[in-house]
Amino acid sequence: MMNNMKKVIIAIICTSSIILCTLLCLAAYNKNTESYIEFSFVTNQYDEKVLSSAPQKLISLKKIGAQSEITVRGKDSFHNFSKTKFSKNKDDLDKYLQKTDFIDFDNEEVIQLSENLNLSELEPIDCAKTILKSINQNTGFIKYDNALAADISLGYTFGRSASETLKTTMGTCGEFANVFVALMRLNNIPCKYICGCCLDPSYSTLHAWAEFYDEKLGWIPVDPQAGILGVLPNYIKRLEGIDFPDTGSDFSKIKFGNVRIVEVKE
């Protein structure tokens, strides 16, 4: 059964449907901004500490062999941004300022885009908004790469670096995240790479986004591919790191499925 679910996930990742799922969710939640939604799902790749980090909340975790049934309460930090309590954990802030092979912010391509957008003159939230507007799949200049998505889902590659993405102007959710993280770190703003999932009983998919640190508000989630500040309650983070390899996620070995809604609270 889980093998079938894995095949479904791979098929989903191999299309640009992640952004379609996000847009459909945006339309739905725009009319009904629940205070939270509790989802239950089964997976074998997660970090319990990440599952329980704000604005989401871990409700329960039950091990079933090599996998776990997890219930998480997701918060709508997109529509209810001003009311959302973000994590203010300052541990390892310097860790999320590091350069890596994928977050290569010292590359000329990244530096030039930062200068073009005048990011060095902006506060963290304004910096994030400017980047999101520039690179998102809907109105920005980076487009979705289905072939790369297929290779990532099969475990052939971790994707492209931020600079490679800017050169090709093509990528998956991970490449959108790499560019966002690189630009934020270049401007001395701590930023995490997030591996998670967008959940819905009828349509769920793996996804990647980012979180940046604001001194007043804490760790703020953003979806660079969708271009949104804050995320919807169906965005559930499972892993985090300085880049995709550092999260420990392996799409070729992941088990994921059995998604259901447990509770909706207004």
- Supply the CATH number for residue 58's domain: 3.10.620.30
Please report the pLDDT score of residue 243 as a whole number.
Answer: 98
pLDDT at 34: 54
Q: How much is the pLDDT for 3?
A: 42
Domain tally for the chain?
A: 1
Q: Which residue type does 163 have?
A: S
* Alpha-carbon distance values, 178 to 12, 123, 137 (Å): 21, 20, 14
Q: 39: closest CA among 10, 74, 12?
A: 74
Instruction: For residue 229, count CB atoms less than 10 angstroms from its CB and return exposed for 0-12, middle for 13-18, buried for 19 or more.
Output: middle
Amino acid at 40: S
- Provide the pLDDT for residue 201: 87
Q: Per-residue pLDDT for the chain (266 aa), expressed as one digit of tens each?
A: 444 344 334 434 444 455 545 554 554 455 444 579 999 999 999 999 999 999 999 999 999 999 999 999 999 999 999 999 999 999 999 999 999 999 999 999 999 999 999 999 999 999 999 999 999 999 999 999 999 999 998 889 999 999 999 999 999 999 999 999 999 999 999 999 999 999 988 889 999 999 999 999 999 999 999 999 999 999 999 999 999 999 999 888 999 999 999 999 86
By C-alpha distance, which of 174, 155, 156, 172 is closest to 253?
A: 155
Residue 26, pLDDT score: 52
CA dist 197 and 207 (Å) reads 5
| Per-residue pLDDT at 31 | 43
Give the per-residue pLDDT at 19. 52
Predicted confidence at residue 5, as pLDDT, reads 43
Model pLDDT, residue 18? 52
Domain carrying residue 196:
2-265
Task: Kindly state the greatest CA–CA separation across the chain.
Answer: 52
